[in-house]
């Protein structure tokens, strides 16, 4: 059970507006994550585009794992969903998947490692 | 050292301004009532008696009469617990009997010590209780010895097991103090203290929060 005092703390720390900016993406979606990177005293935005292969729901501490193939090498990055370091998240595509955790993608290469687009799938 | 009585609510994560995720324990500290004073003249030492956890009508019905009488005599509302905190004369002067001390006593960033009764684990073996290594898992020579402590002594000399030998037994449910935890935030209106990291005890257990005795301010 979530206690009220914890809710208060979490609401104060991660405001409702901040929560609203996070789109409701699902496992299997391809997302673009714009995260803030600070280099010295300068700050810039870095974009990571990949398939969401896992969402660990833990209230404000929720994280999700994004996977992409970069120069032939699989790269996975875990983002805290409500981190103030995340500028925005864009949903690029959705796919119909039958798993909550898409770890099987790690073993697949090339064409097999791609997911079918949900929109295209709907027409079949 | 002045302190306050609170309740551990549970843990969560807060993000700092720079985006760092900090694990925190939420401690609820409702205003502590100054129940009484211990004075040098009367008691031989000086301390504040603080009461916490105001009783509801139901709680009052369940509390024992002599205890309620103590509050009645002082014209105070009945509370669940009373603890003493040693202070100097100045401390006594600052807090009159019947007044309340709130969580505002602590400031953001201040090092604190948190005392509570640790979670009970029951009777536990040496691996869990003393972090012993046990014996090999996959070797046939370690027949049924995997989680055992191994030898506990020598031979005829000394011919006995040394005192305080670490053996299986009851674990937990002891008073534990964690020193030099940091106050991450104080939320006055909801009487909440955010403590960095974990504190002893189960959720909803009583905790005592004091300013750190070994203050390593750098």
Nearest CB among B9, B24, B187 relative to A3 is that of: B9
Asked if the Cβ–Cβ distance from A3 to B15 is below 8 Å, we say no
Q: How does pLDDT run across A70-101, given as a tens digit for each residue?
A: 898 889 999 999 988 898 899 998 888 888 99
Asked if the C-beta of A11 comes within 8 angstroms of chain B's C-beta atoms, the answer is no
Q: Mutate one of A5, A10, A14 to test the B interface: name it (highest B CB count within 10 A).
A: A5
pTM of the model: 0.82
Q: Quick one: pLDDT at residue B216?
A: 66
Measured between CA atoms, the residue of chain B closest to residue A13 is B14
Of the candidates B92, B96, B102, the residue with the CA atom closest to the CA atom of residue B188: B102
Partner A contacted by B13 (CB < 8 A) = yes
Q: Is B14 on the interface with A (CB under 8 A)?
A: yes
pLDDT of residue A114: 73
Task: Indicate yes or no: CB of B187 within 8 angstroms of CB of A85.
Answer: no
Q: Exposed (0-12), middle (13-18) or buried (19+): which is A64, by Cβ within 10 Å? A: buried
pLDDT band at A124 (very low <50, low <70, confident <90, very high): very low
Distance CA B164, CA B125 (A): 15
Cα separation, A105 vs A95, whole angstroms: 13
Non-local (6+) Cβ contacts of A92 within 8 A are: A29, A30, A31, A32, A49
**If you search the block for the tokens 């009508």, which residue do you land on?**
B57
Q: How far is A17 from chain B (nearest CA, A)?
A: 15
Please give the residue that has the higher pLDDT: either A88 or A114.
A88
**pLDDT at residue number B161:** 92
Specify the pLDDT at position A119: 57
Q: Which residue has the tokens 């799938």?
A: A121
Is the pLDDT at A121 greater than 70, yes or no? no
- Separation of alpha carbons B173 and B179, rounded Å: 18
Q: Give residue-wise pLDDT tens across range A7-64.
A: 888 888 888 878 888 888 989 999 999 999 888 888 899 999 999 999 999 888 899 9
> Could you list the pLDDT tens digit for every one of the 218 residues in chain B?
689 999 999 999 999 888 888 999 999 999 999 999 999 999 999 999 999 988 888 888 888 889 899 888 888 888 999 999 999 888 888 888 888 999 999 999 899 999 999 999 999 999 999 998 888 777 666 677 788 888 888 898 899 999 999 999 999 999 999 999 999 999 998 899 999 999 999 999 999 999 998 876 55
Q: Which of residues 69-128 of B touch A (CB under 8 A)?
A: none
**Strand order from edge to edge, sheet including B32-38:** B79-86, B47-54, B32-38, B100-101
Chain B: give the shortest CA distance to residue A72, in Å.
31
Nearest CA in chain A to B12: A6
Question: What are the residues facing B170 on neighbouring strands?
Answer: B123
């Amino acid at each position: 059970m979530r206690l009220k005092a914890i809710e208060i703390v979490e609401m104060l720390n991660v405001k409702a507006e901040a929560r609203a900016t996070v789109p409701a993406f699902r496992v299997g979606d391809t997302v673009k994550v714009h995260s803030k990177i600070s280099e010295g005293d300068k700050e810039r935005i870095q974009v990571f585009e990949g398939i969401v292969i896992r969402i660990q729901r833990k209230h404000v501490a929720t994280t999700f794992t994004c996977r992409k193939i970069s120069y032939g090498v699989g790269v996975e990055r875990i983002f805290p969903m409500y981190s103030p370091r995340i500028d925005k998240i864009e949903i690029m595509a959705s796919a119909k998947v039958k798993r909550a955790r898409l770890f099987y993608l790690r073993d697949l290469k090339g064409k097999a490692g791609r997911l079918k687009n949900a929109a295209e799938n709907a027409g079949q | 050292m002045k302190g306050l009585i609170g309740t551990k609510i549970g843990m969560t994560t807060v993000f700092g301004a720079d985006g760092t995720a900090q694990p925190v324990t939420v401690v609820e500290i409702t205003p502590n009532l100054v129940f009484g004073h211990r004075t040098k003249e009367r008691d031989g030492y000086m301390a504040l008696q603080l009461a916490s956890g105001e009783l509801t009508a139901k709680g009052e019905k369940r509390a024992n009469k002599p205890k309620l009488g103590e509050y009645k005599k002082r014209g105070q509302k009945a509370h669940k617990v009373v603890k003493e905190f040693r202070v100097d004369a100045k401390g006594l002067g600052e807090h009159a009997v019947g007044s309340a001390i709130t969580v505002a006593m602590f400031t953001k960033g201040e090092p604190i010590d948190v005392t509570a009764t640790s979670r009970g684990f029951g009777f536990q073996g040496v691996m869990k209780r003393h972090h012993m290594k046990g014996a090999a898992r996959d070797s046939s020579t370690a027949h049924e010895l995997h989680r055992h402590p191994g030898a506990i002594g020598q031979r005829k000399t000394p011919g006995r097991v040394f005192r305080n030998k670490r053996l299986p037994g009851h674990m937990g449910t002891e008073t534990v103090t964690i020193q030099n935890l940091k106050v991450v935030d104080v939320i006055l209106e909801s009487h909440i203290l955010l403590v960095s990291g974990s504190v002893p005890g189960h959720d909803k257990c009583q905790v005592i929060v004091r300013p750190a005795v070994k203050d390593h301010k750098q």
